[in-house]
Structure 1
Amino acid sequence: MNDTFGGSTRRFWRSIMVIARRDFGAILFSRSFIFFLLGPLLPVFVAVMAGGIGASVSGKIEAPKLGLALESSEADAFLAARKRLAESVSDLPDAVVIIRLKPGDRIMARSALARAKGGSPVTALLSGSLTNPKLTGPEAQVDRWRGGVALIAAEALRTDASQLPTVALDKTISARADTVRKRIRTAQASQMMLFLLTMLLAGMVMSNMVEEKANKIIEVLAAAVPMDAVFYGKLIAMLGVSLVGLSIWGLVMLPIGLSGGGLDRLAAPAVGWPMFIALGLLYFSFAYLLLGSLFLTIGGLAATVREVQTLSMPATMLQLIVFFFASYALGAMGEPIEWVAILFPLTSPYTMLARAAVEPDFWPHLAAIVWQAFCVALIIKGGSTLFRKTVMKSGPSMGKRTFLRKLLRRPA
C-alpha cells in the first residue's frame, strides 16, 4: 500500500511539474512578457528619481538645526563664534535663535523644544548659559552635537580650547526608542513593497485561467491530469514568472536605490538584512500563492473576460482591505488584533514580514510558514473541487430514484 501511495504521489507531482513547465515556458518566452517587464520600470524610475530629488531638496531646506534659548548677548556671541569656526571646523550644528531671554529668566527646555519643533527643523535645544550649557533633544542628536556646542561656547567665551565647558545632556528619546521607531519605518516600507508587488503580479493568474477556459485548453488539461495538479501547476508557473520579473527589476532598481541613499533612512531589521530578505521572498511567495489561489478559483468560475473585468474591482478592494488590516496590526504588536492578523491567511505574510523587522525571534516565522502553506493547500483543494462541480460537470446529477425510474422504463 505504501508503494501505491508513493507512486500516486509521484504521479501527482509529475503532473504538477508538467503543467508548471508548460505555463512557465509559454509566458516567459512570449513577447508580452517583455512588455510586462518594461511596464512598471518607467513609472518606478520616475518615482525614485522624483523622490531622490525631493529628498535632496528637503535635506537642503530642512537640515536639522539647533535651537538657542539664551540671553540675547550670549545668543549673539554663540552665533558669531559658530560663524568664525565654520571656516575651519566642519560638522558644527547649524543654530537658530528660538527664545531670547532676559537676565534671570528661566524656561522649561522640553516644553520649549516641543513648541519649536512645530513646523521647523529644530531637533535639539541649547539652554542654560555659555559657561554651563545644557542640550535637550534625542539621544543621537545631542551626542552628535555635544562636542561642537562645547567648542563654539569656548570660542564665544574666548577661553582656551583645551578648557571646554561641560555640556549637560537631557535626552528626550533613548537610542533604543529611536531604533524601534526606525525599525517600524522599515516594517511599513516592507509591507508597502509587498502589497504593491502582490497587487501588480497576482492578477495575471485570473486572466490566464479565463483565457484557457475560453480556448477549451483547461478541459484538455483536466482530462489528462487531476484538477488539483492543474491549479498547483499554474500557481507555481506564475510564481516562477513573478520571481523572474522581481529579479530583473531588482537588478535594475537596486543601484538606483543605493545611489539615492533611500536605504539610509531605514534601520536594519531585527533579524538582520540577509534573513529579512530571505523571509521577504518567502512571504512574497506565500502572499502570491494565497491571493493567486483565490484569483484562480474566481477565474475558473468566470465565464468571460468581461466577468473578470467586473470582478477585478472587488479583487482590488480585497487587497486594499488586507493591506490596511495588516498595517493596523503593526501598530498593535502583542495585542489580540495582531494575532488575528497572523492567523488570517491573507494578512499573515504582511504581518509576519513586519514582525521580522521589529522582533528578533525566528521561531514564530517557522510556525507562520507552515500555517500559510496549509492554507494554500486548503484553498487550492476547495477551488479545484468547486471548479469540478460547477464548471467541468457534463450534465445534471442523477439521483438513485431517477436512475431506477429510467431503468424500469427501458424496453426489454
Structure 2
Amino acid sequence: MQSGHSRLNLAQAAFVIARRDVRAILFSKAFLFFLLGPIFFGLVSLGAASLGQRTAENREPPVLAVAMSPADSTAIIAARERLAHVIDLPRIQRVDPASNPATLLNAGASNFGAVLTGTPAAPELTGTAERIASWRGQVALVAASVSGSDAAYPQVVLQPTVTSGASQKSGRVGTATGALTLLFLLTMLLAGMVMSNLVEEKANKIIEILAAAVPMDAVFLGKLFAMLVVSLVGLTVWGTLGAIAAAFSGGSIGSLVAPAVGWPVFVALFLIYFAMAYLLIGSVFLTIGAMAPTVRDVQTLSMPATMLQLGVFFLATYSTSDLGSPVELAAIVFPLSSPYAMVSRAAQEPDLWPHAAALAWQALWVMLFVRFGAQLFRRRVMKSGPQAPKGRRWRKAAAAR
C-alpha cells in the first residue's frame, strides 16, 4: 500500500476514491428510490416561483406612462388624483411626448406597464394585451374626467405589444426566484449524502483503511466529487423527466420569461453554480461528519449547518428584487450564499463578467473549506482510537528512559 501511495499524486488518489464511491452508490437499490424523492420538491419550486412573481408585482406595481402634450399630461394627472380616492387607478408618470412607446416599454430599467398617447378626447393605450385590456376602463374614466363630463366616455384605442418593461421585469424576478429555490432544494437534498456516507464508513472502519492507503486530502476530495457526480446523474434523470413532462403539457414552459442572459447560458450557469453550492456545503457537511462519531451525533451537529443554509436562502431571496443594494452585495461576497445570489443576477442582468469573478471567488473558498475540513478530518480519524490514561502514559515514558 505504501508503494501505491508513493505512485499516486493527490489528483490520482482522489480519482480512485471517487470512482469507488460512484460505483458503489449508482449500482445500489437505494439510489433508485432516492431518484423518486425530488418530485415533491419540484412542485414546491414551481409554486415558489409563481408566488415570487406575484410578490414582486405587489411590491412594485406597474406604472402608466403618459406621453401627451404638457397641458394634456397635467390634466390627466390631476384627474387621476381626483379619482384616486374613489377607485383604484394605476400610478402615472409623465414622459417626453416624443418618446417611442415601444422603446419605453422595452427599457429594462423602467417599470412601465403601458403608455398613454393621443389626447384626452382620443386616447391611445400601448402595452401588453392583458395589461391594456385591464386598464382600458380606468383610462377612459380618467380621460372623461378631464373634460368634466362622465356622460360620454372616449373610445380608447388599444395598441397591443408583445411585452413591456414591467411585465419583463416582474417575469424575470419570478424566473430568478424559481431558479434560486430550485437550486436551494437540490443542494440541501443531495448534500446530505456526503455526510451520511462518511459516517457509515467511519463506523465500519473503512475510512481508516483508505486513510492509510492514500493521502487524507485525496479521501476528502474524492468523496466530495463522487457525490457531486452522483448528484449530476440525478439532475440528468430529473431534467429528462421534466422535459418529457413539459413536452406533454402543451408547451407551458414556453410561457416562462426568458432570463437576461438567455436560456442556454442560464442553464449552463445554473449547473456551474449548483456544483459550487454543492462543493461548498458538502465540504461543511464532510467536516461535520468528521466530528461526529455516530449517526445520532450527526443529526445534532448538522442542525446549525441546516439553519445556516436556511438563512443563506432567505438572504439571497431577499436580495433578488434589489439588485446592486448592500444586501445583494453581501449575499454575493458571503461564500455560501454567493451561488444563489449569482443565479438570481443571471436571470435579471445580461452582464457575464460578474459571473467569472464570482466563480473564481467561490472556487477559492471551496479550496479553503476542503483544506480545513481535510486537516480536521485527519486529526479526528487518525486519533479515533481510545487514548491511554495520563498516568499510564507517564509510566511508559519513564520506562522508555
Choose from 203, 216, 220 the match for 1:231: 220
The normalised TM-score by structure 1 is: 0.68
Please state whether the residue corresponding to 2:350 is helix, strand or coil: coil
2:233 maps to 244
In structure 1, C-alpha distance between the alignment counterparts of 2:195 and 2:202, rounded to whole Å? 11
Alpha-carbon distance, 1:143 to partner: 8.4
CA distance 1:269–1:206, change in 2 (3 Å): same
CA distance 1:167–1:196, change in 2 (3 Å): same
Residues 39-69 of structure 1 deviation map (CA, whole Å, 9 limit, x = unaligned): 333x358769999xxxxxxxxxxxxxxxxxx
The amino acid across from 1:390 in the alignment is R
2:197 maps to 208
Post-superposition, which runs of at least 4 consecutive aligned residues in structure 1 deviate over 6 A? 7-10, 45-51, 123-126, 403-408
Choose from 38, 41, 57 the match for 1:40: 38
CA distance 1:273–1:170, change in 2 (3 Å): closer
Tell me, yes or no, if structure 1 residue 274 matches structure 2 residue 264.
Answer: yes
Residues 170-223 of structure 1 deviation map (CA, whole Å, 9 limit, x = unaligned): 99xx92233222111111111011011111111111111100000001000110
2:166 maps to 177
The Cα RMSD (Å) is 4.2
The amino acid across from 1:17 in the alignment is F
Choose from 66, 72, 80 the match for 1:108: 80
Task: Give unmatched runs, 5+ long, in structure 1.
Answer: 1-6, 52-105, 118-122, 150-164, 398-402
Tell me, yes or no, if structure 1 residue 140 matches structure 2 residue 138.
Answer: no
Choose from 348, 356, 374 the match for 2:338: 348
Tell me, yes or no, if structure 1 residue 284 matches structure 2 residue 257.
Answer: no
Residues 223-245 of structure 1 deviation map (CA, whole Å, 9 limit, x = unaligned): 01111111110011101111101
2:144 maps to none
Moved more, 260-269 or 351-360: 260-269
**Equivalent runs, 1:3-402 vs 2, <5 Å:** 11-41=9-39, 43=40, 107-108=79-80, 111=84, 115=88, 132-134=121-123, 139-141=127-129, 167=156, 175-257=164-246, 259=249, 261-393=251-383
In structure 2, C-alpha distance between the alignment counterparts of 1:341 and 1:387, rounded to whole Å? 29
Residues 336-357 of structure 1 deviation map (CA, whole Å, 9 limit, x = unaligned): 2222211111000001111111
Provide the aligned length of Structure 1 versus Structure 2. 325
**Contact persistence 2:180–2:343 (CA under 8 A):** yes
Please state whether the residue corresponding to 1:360 is helix, strand or coil: coil
The amino acid across from 2:88 in the alignment is R
The amino acid across from 1:269 in the alignment is P
In structure 2, C-alpha distance between the alignment counterparts of 1:40 and 1:113, rounded to whole Å? 48
If you compute each CA radius of gyration, which structure gives the higher value, 1 or 2? Answer: 1
1:61 maps to none
CA distance 1:113–1:368, change in 2 (3 Å): farther
Please state whether the residue corresponding to 1:139 is helix, strand or coil: strand
In structure 2, C-alpha distance between the alignment counterparts of 1:182 and 1:284, rounded to whole Å? 22
Task: Give me the identity figure in percent.
Answer: 52
Residues 313-336 of structure 1 deviation map (CA, whole Å, 9 limit, x = unaligned): 333222211100111222331122
Task: Give unmatched runs, 5+ long, in structure 2.
Answer: 49-77, 91-112, 138-153
